[in-house]
Amino acid sequence: MKHYLEVIKNLENELKQISQVSEVLLEQIDLAIGHCKIAYDTLKRLVVKHGFSDRKSEIFFFKEIKPSVCSKLLYYQGIIELESHRQKVGENEIKKYFQRELKKILKYMKMHQSKVQYYRCNYTYLDEQYFTHHNPDIPYAVRDYSTLIDEDFSSWKDHAFSIIMANEMLIDYITQEMEKLDHPDKKNLPELNLNWTGSKMDLYELIYAIYLEGSVNHGKATIVELTKAFGWIFNTDLQKEIYKTQERLIRRKDPVKYLTQLMAILRRRINNKLK
């Protein structure tokens, strides 16, 4: 499993460096798609060569690893379409176009609500059926195209998970672009060179505490809005995990570990007069 995870790590590092290669958005996206395709092909070769040590690792691969690459590929392909269309129409038409595309995505998510819920809630009770390949119990009539043409590198639902993950990223992208159209003055906000170097779970813990206490907008700020804001400030992707995190926090032995640590550090420094 280590070599599969290494592919994901390398891809994420390459995607972070794209802005340093080109300042042109469409060129950046084209580079991103190229990196995603290379990562996808590498994963496929590794699966054919090494396979999986057990059923648990197989499920993890098709549920987490492969969709993390495929979703990025679908996401950047979606952005290519959005931005290519933006260049063909005027400023007044682009917002209507974004609204139509957003509506299509939301309609898809609603039509596939059971799969979306399974993904967001991190359910596991159907993993044996959904995320194992060469499963003879799945009728050919219900298998999707990718499963039928490449059974060695596909499970029943990994492509569905990839689409859901890509859609969530596209929803965020379109929403941000529409926000820029509504508030063009925000385009001039400075870029923050701040990177969250702690655990993401610690940051989620902090966000949930702020959300539940109602400290922002008199308690009217949603958890999605807060997650988006913290993700922008600290240059990290928090959106795709937000729906799974609440359950993980509840299951932790100490769900407020980070906040307790912060409180202890602050109290100690205050007692020492913040030296």
**Whether the predicted pLDDT of 172 surpasses 50:** yes
Task: Pick 244 or 208 by higher pLDDT.
Answer: 208
Cα angle: 31, vertex 59, 228; to 5 degrees: 50
pLDDT band at 107 (very low <50, low <70, confident <90, very high): very high
pLDDT band at 274 (very low <50, low <70, confident <90, very high): low
**Whether the predicted pLDDT of 141 surpasses 60:** no
pTM here is: 0.69
**Selection from 219, 197, 198, 206 nearest residue 249 by Cα:** 206
**Selection from 257, 156, 160 nearest residue 202 by Cα:** 257
**Whether the predicted pLDDT of 31 surpasses 60:** yes
Name, in order, each residue with C-beta under 8 angstroms of 82's C-beta and a sequence gap of 6 or more.
98, 101, 173, 174, 177
Task: Give the DSSP H or E segment for 96.
Answer: helix 91-111
pLDDT band at 16 (very low <50, low <70, confident <90, very high): confident
Residue-averaged pLDDT of the chain: 84
Task: Give the DSSP H or E segment for 55.
Answer: helix 55-60
Q: pLDDT, tens digit, for every residue of 42-97? A: 999 999 888 888 999 999 999 999 999 999 999 999 999 999 888 888 777 888 89
Count of residues for the chain? 275
Q: Which amino acid is at 48?
A: V
Alpha-carbon distance of 222 to 220, in angstroms, equals 6
Mean pLDDT throughout 243-258?
A: 80
Ramachandran bin of 247, using left for φ above 0, alpha for ψ from -120 to 50, beta for the remaining angles:
alpha
Distances (CA, A) of 161 to 65, 87, 98, 104, 116: 11, 31, 23, 17, 8
**Whether the predicted pLDDT of 148 surpasses 50:** no
Distances (CA, A) of 273 to 132, 190, 265, 268, 270: 58, 33, 12, 9, 5
DSSP 131-157: S-SS-TTS-GGG--HHHHH-GGG--SS
**Whether the predicted pLDDT of 139 surpasses 60:** no
Q: Which of 3-17, 127-141, 181-195 is most confident? A: 3-17
